[in-house]
Amino acid sequence: MTEVATGGGLTVRLSPAAAQQAAAQVSELEAAGVPAALAGKDATLWGPDAQSEAIIRLGWIDTFVGSRALLPQLAELREELGDLNHVVLAGMGGSSLAPEVISLTLGKALTVLDTTDPGQVKAALGDRLDRTVVVVSSKSGGTIETDSHRRAYWQAFLDAGLPEAEVGRHFVIVTDPGSPLESTAREMGAYVVLADPNVGGRYSALTAFGLVPTALAGVDVAELLDQAEEFAATLAAAPEANPSLLLGAALGAAALAGRDKVSLADDGSGITGLGDWAEQLIAESTGKDGKGILPVVVEGQDAPGATGADVFTATVGAAGGSPAGTPDAAVNGPLGAQFLCWEAATAIAGRVLGINPFDQPNVTESKQNTGKILDEGMPSEQPAFTEGDVAVYTTATVSTLDEALAWLVAEAGSDGYIAIMEYLDRFGDADGAKLRAALAQASGRPVTYGWGPRFLHSTGQYHKGGPQVGAFLQVTGAVNADLAVPGKPYSFGTLQAAQAAGDRQALAGRGRPLLHLHLTDRAKGTAQLLESAHRLSTDKER
């Protein structure tokens, strides 16, 4: 029974109970030759149905090799754009989450724009425009949010008096070869960096998607590649020297035993926000076919909802760090190694669960709903009632906000979870994030929190494809000053509302409990909602 695996500068420590639970899976995986096969990019590891996808999605295993070829280009680009020292990243999901973790952890300024909220977009557009370079990142080249950001910035530069011939210099486009965005970039006169098409978005941390914006922000990205390369040597090693094998086996074994939620907490030793990146990786890779592991990003190891009978607890931190308590798994090592470790562990957990960790069969549903709404108009909906600054949309038999929240909590049951989805400004309306801990305290269940539409590119797949035990709270807010999307018949506010409505349709179509709250005044409505959640928690404790 292996409790500790160390290699490549990174250590995974399991609790005795987690190690015992994982022991059989570790032995089975080792006997089947999975570590060596994974290191060798064997696309048959996840079964015949997954093989065609896996064979074009395993570039992440040694992406540090191809990414080194980018380093001279990145150095040249940074020198050429040296006067543009305000870096904005317009990207969603895998195009934005890793760069944000890298910049936060390594202390470099990077403005991440992964929203359609008009207020948040306006604030970004009004900040140091003359010194701004916009990195537009989209693997497919057709991401509606990112295209809208590109259009808005292009117009903003023109409105600021910049000649059209010079506007292209303020853009760096990162996309896959042959995407429609590549053609658009050439027409714009923008700088173009083509990414590795054999790496899926959520596995792309150390590809151009993770490296271009962070290099421009001043990160020494070669160091991240060095860390990943050192760790890569462990992928085929024996269990005691193979951290990703131990972690993946533990995650998979726990899920099979009924602990199919994993709480993710920073241990305070120097890596910031890795849970937000791992959330997409785990949820989108495993949440399908009615199976999956639900990642729950928590504020700390002792936060409400961080533990439970069906929760596997995990902490992440820098090398030499250690958690305050005794989590089921503690993962400590440098950031570049962390990325590769969690990617490999997730792929291994997918093998244990019997799913394809490289597809996302349900992601497009909400997108298609959104497109239809933009074409045909918003569906007609009326609130069941309005209380203060909160309009309540529900089919439940309730007449107060307190009753509505109590109904939602009850619907989560003893084995479910609550997902909070807020289509607001994650900076201007940041207090909304406090709702996660409040509802976790009130319900005693795992509670996830996501800013819309950001979460649609992360946990959205799990919501639709994973175990159907979720209860969903969607929060939208009044838009006091909208912003046009240049060249399109809709505004950012309309797009945001259509995305929220499209996701409501996808969830309602599955018969899941859904409570929609619309804040007619965002600040007052958020305060009112938090007060209601706290009352619910107090009532539970009595």
How far CA 414 is from CA of 95, 260, 311, 403, 507, in Å, comes to 35, 13, 12, 19, 20
Q: Which ranges of 377-510 does DSSP label H, i.e. alpha helix?
A: 401-412, 435-443, 460-465, 492-508
Q: Hey, CA dihedral for 202, 516, 117, 499, is it positive or negative?
A: positive
State the Cα–Cα distance between residues 392 and 403, nearest whole angstrom: 11
Give residue 486's pLDDT. 98
Q: Hey, CA dihedral for 25, 31, 35, 41, is it positive or negative?
A: negative
Name the 3-class secondary structure at 316.
strand
State yes or no: pLDDT of 171 exceeds 90.
yes
- Digit-coded pLDDT (tens) for 123-148: 999 989 999 999 999 999 999 999 99
**Which residues face 474 on adjacent strands?**
421, 516
State the Cα–Cα distance between residues 117 and 477, nearest whole angstrom: 10
State yes or no: pLDDT of 47 exceeds 70.
yes
State the Cα–Cα distance between residues 128 and 119, nearest whole angstrom: 16
Query: Edge to edge, what strands does the sheet with 191-194 contain?
Result: 111-113, 86-90, 132-138, 171-175, 191-194
Give residue 172's pLDDT. 98
Tokens representing 347 are 């792929």
Give residue 333's pLDDT. 97
Tokens representing 521 are 């005044």
Give residue 320's pLDDT. 83
Tokens representing 540 are 């539970």
Residue 334, Cβ neighbours under 10 Å: how many? 22
The mean per-residue pLDDT over the stretch 378-400 comes to: 97
State the Cα–Cα distance between residues 323 and 339, nearest whole angstrom: 19
Angle at 324 between CA 284 and CA 321, to 5 degrees: 75
State the Cα–Cα distance between residues 324 and 32, nearest whole angstrom: 36
Residue 422: phi, psi to the nearest 5?
-110, 115
Amino acid 61 reads: I
State yes or no: pLDDT of 2 exceeds 80.
no
State yes or no: pLDDT of 255 exceeds 60.
yes
CA nearest neighbour of 193 among 72, 58, 83: 72
- Digit-coded pLDDT (tens) for 259-316: 999 999 999 999 999 999 999 999 999 999 999 999 999 999 999 999 999 999 999 9
DSSP symbol at 378 = P
Give residue 538's pLDDT. 82
State the Cα–Cα distance between residues 295 and 281, nearest whole angstrom: 9
| Cβ–Cβ under 8 Å, residues 534 and 438 | yes
Q: How confident is the model at residue 542 (pLDDT cuts 50, 70, 90)?
A: low
CA nearest neighbour of 126 among 156, 151, 84: 156
The mean per-residue pLDDT over the stretch 170-199 comes to: 97
- Digit-coded pLDDT (tens) for 487-512: 999 999 999 999 999 999 999 999 99
Model-level pTM?
Answer: 0.97
- Digit-coded pLDDT (tens) for 426-451: 999 999 999 999 999 999 999 999 99
State yes or no: pLDDT of 480 exceeds 70.
yes
The mean per-residue pLDDT over the stretch 373-394 comes to: 97
Using alpha carbons only, how large is the chain's radius of gyration in Å? 23
Tokens representing 155 are 């117009």
**Which residues face 331 on adjacent strands?**
12, 316
Query: Whats the size of the chain, residue-wise?
Result: 542
State the Cα–Cα distance between residues 108 and 171, nearest whole angstrom: 19
**Which residues face 450 on adjacent strands?**
421
Tokens representing 168 are 């292209």
When the pLDDT of each residue in the chain is averaged and rounded to a whole number, the result is 96
**SS3 assignment for 59-99:** HHHHHHHHHHCCHHHHHHHHHHCCCCCEEEEECCHHHCHHH
Give residue 541's pLDDT. 63
The pairing of strands 261-266 and 311-317 is parallel
Residue matched to tokens 């949820």: 283
CB within 8 Å of 362: residues ≥ 6 apart:
288, 460, 461, 464, 465
How far CA 319 is from CA of 108, 188, 244, 450, 498, in Å, comes to 20, 43, 15, 29, 44
The pairing of strands 294-297 and 261-266 is parallel
State the Cα–Cα distance between residues 419 and 467, nearest whole angstrom: 13
State yes or no: pLDDT of 106 exceeds 90.
yes
| Cβ–Cβ under 8 Å, residues 272 and 316 | no
CB within 8 Å of 424: residues ≥ 6 apart:
117, 432, 451, 452, 475, 476, 477, 519, 522
Amino acid 146 reads: T
Q: How confident is the model at residue 321 (pLDDT cuts 50, 70, 90)?
A: confident
Q: Report cis status (omega within 30 of 0) of the bond before 453.
A: yes
State yes or no: pLDDT of 324 exceeds 80.
no
